[in-house]
Amino acid sequence: MQIPITLMYASIFAIFALVLSFSAGATRGKSGASILFGDPPNMELAEKVRRHQNFLEYVPIFMIVFGAIEANGGSSTFLLIVGDLLIISRIAHAIGLKHDNMAHIGRLIGAGGTALLTLVAGVYGLWLSVNPVLEITMSLF
């Protein structure tokens, strides 16, 4: 079974994760801070590390559900729209995550968009799974 839409988005997000990681690593190297953010704290480094961590907290679970939707015959149009919107959300979040501005519009769009898209994908995945799970359950009796 091939899941080319998931492969495309997973590949885009893998590259995005590396960009965020390299950005944090380069700033860490310049600052000389090994694990924490230095003394006094380097807020530029803290922001970059947090952007990367936040990405890794949310995108993998989304991609698991996304791939399962595709593998179970979900709508290609749905996947393309949701995938594109997640790219936009993650870019907005990376731009908007600021240590001194919790209400930055990019952060709001990014965090809100990621949460909403994950919820929508989760609900759609549940909807796709209901009939197959019921059939399996009924076959047990």
pLDDT at 1 over 90: no
Whole-prediction pTM: 0.91
What domains are there in the chain, each with its CATH number?
A: 4-139 (1.20.120.550)
**Contact between 120 and 45 (Cβ < 8 Å):** no
* Per-residue pLDDT reduced to its tens digit, 68-89: 999 999 999 999 999 999 999 9
* Per-residue pLDDT reduced to its tens digit, 87-99: 999 999 999 999 8
pLDDT on residue 34: 75
* Per-residue pLDDT reduced to its tens digit, 103-125: 999 999 999 999 999 999 999 99
The per-residue DSSP string of 100-132 comes to: T-TT-HHHHHHHHHHHHHHHHHHHHHHHHHHHH
